[in-house]
Amino acid sequence: EKGTYPHYMLKEIDEQPLVMRKIIQKYQNDRGDLTIDQEIVDAMNDADRIYIIAAGTSYHAGLVGKQFIEKMAKVPVEVHISSEFGYNMPLLSEKPLFIFISQSGETADSRGVLVNVKEMGHKALTITNVQGSTLSREADYTLLLYAGPEIAVASTKAYTAQIAVLSILAEVTAKSRGIDLDFNLVQELGIVANAMEVLCDAKEEFEEISRKFLSTTRNAFFIGRGIDFYVGLEGALKLKEISYIQAEGFAGGELKHGTIALIENGTPVIALATQESVNLSIRGNVKEVVARGANPCIISMKGLETEEDSFIIPEVNGLLTPLISVIPLQLISYYAALHRECDVDKPRNLAKSVTVE
């Protein structure tokens, strides 16, 4: 039930702090440590390479998950779009573990890959919001998202839940391998939940930003570097899906290799600047597009901000920024769709779960 909310999407965006806290609680043991089933930890440790398979928003969560697993647990990870995996199957390593990420657990393209790799005798873990879903039943192991039903076609709370669960999977695997992390994930996710609340309380500002940058435009670009690039991809998907504004997310460094040709007077460029290591470079990209007339909307993180920024998100652990930098993008897209009188919860031509290939 959406209660007093005008749309499920807005309700689900607002639920994100709560979902974070629920995930922390569900994955904590009596001593307060994060924990997952031992057989899943064993499967992670038996693998010499992990293959993440997913579609759409879940694929974008997988890109972030790769960073977690490689940086924390030091296991190599590849991320693949499920519909492409069949044609472009990479040479598999000797002991692969497949991780399927799917909110619904019913995505036909992902299921196609799962059936295939099971036939080949490989192990599979499904990360899903729906207990008992097809992908969960057919895989060897399941991790649940505990996000509650997601009704809006545009995925929001499932994306952040997927990223949180992937961070826990990476942390627990790292610990089991004797790798010391220089932060406490429970604490860091708690900080994230609080930061999410701050962002959910800033709706009026995001409505204003959306009006300022997106009210009449036909297209929009999202740029970022490193982990911000992946969030930009998700921001572009959200925007095009519900507001029908043609949107593209790409790596800041790629600008000069083509896309900058599209920048005209007034073209909105939404730039994410949450990573200290690439802050100068992404701001350099902003200067390049501004010189061509772009209308820049910079979303930065506290500590890295400058006066030209449109919004500054609260500071969180540098690896976990996608959990909060995505919220401005979700809200900006929501208001863009609203201002254009689009059907926010049921965008044209789309289904909540894509059960045909």
Active site residues: 352
**Does residue number 107 form part of the binding site for ligand M6R (CB under 6 A)?**
yes
**Does residue number 56 form part of the binding site for ligand M6R (CB under 6 A)?**
yes
Distances (CA, A) of 64 to 58, 115, 233, 296, 299: 10, 25, 11, 25, 18
Q: Which of residues 231-270 bind ligand M6R (CB under 6 A)?
A: 237, 241
Tell which residue, 159, 309, 313, has the closest CA to residue 241.
159
**Does residue number 55 form part of the binding site for ligand M6R (CB under 6 A)?**
yes
Cα-to-chain-centroid distance, residue 254: 21
CA–CA gap between residue 304 and residue 275 (Å, rounded): 8
Cα-to-chain-centroid distance, residue 179: 25
Q: Tokens for 175, please give them.
A: 């610990």
- Helix residue spans in the chain (DSSP H): 8-14, 16-26, 38-46, 56-68, 82-85, 108-119, 134-138, 157-176, 185-200, 203-214, 227-243, 279-291, 322-339
Tell which residue, 152, 151, 59, has the closest CA to residue 109.
59
Stretch that binds ligand M6R, among 29-37, 43-51, 153-161, 251-259 (CB under 6 A): 153-161
Instruction: Report the residue number, 162 or 300, with the smaller CB distance to ligand M6R.
Output: 162
Stretch that binds ligand M6R, among 55-63, 140-148, 305-313, 325-333 (CB under 6 A): 55-63
| Polymer length of the chain | 357
Stretch that binds ligand M6R, among 96-104, 167-175, 213-221, 328-336 (CB under 6 A): 96-104
**Does residue number 295 form part of the binding site for ligand M6R (CB under 6 A)?**
no
Among 155, 274, 295, 333, interactor with ligand M6R by CB under 6 A: 155
Q: Tokens for 48, please give them.
A: 């010499």
Beta carbon of residue 57, minimum distance to ligand M6R (angstroms, whole number): 3
Residue nearest to ligand M6R (CB): 56
Beta carbon of residue 41, minimum distance to ligand M6R (angstroms, whole number): 24
**Does residue number 67 form part of the binding site for ligand M6R (CB under 6 A)?**
no
**Does residue number 330 form part of the binding site for ligand M6R (CB under 6 A)?**
no
Beta carbon of residue 302, minimum distance to ligand M6R (angstroms, whole number): 28
Instruction: Tell whether the torsion through CA atoms of 68, 73, 78 and 80 is positive or negative.
Output: negative
Unique residue bearing structure tokens 């597009």: 289
Q: Indicate the DSSP class of residue 90.
A: P
Q: Tokens for 5, please give them.
A: 């909310």
Phi/psi for 311 (5° steps) reads -155, 140
Q: Indicate the DSSP class of residue 128.
A: E
**Does residue number 354 form part of the binding site for ligand M6R (CB under 6 A)?**
yes
Stretch that binds ligand M6R, among 50-58, 187-195, 223-231, 296-304 (CB under 6 A): 50-58
**Does residue number 153 form part of the binding site for ligand M6R (CB under 6 A)?**
yes
Instruction: Report the residue number, 167 or 333, with the smaller CB distance to ligand M6R.
Output: 333
Provide the binding-site residues for ligand M6R, judged by CB under 6 A: 55-58, 102-104, 107, 110, 153-155, 237, 241, 353-354
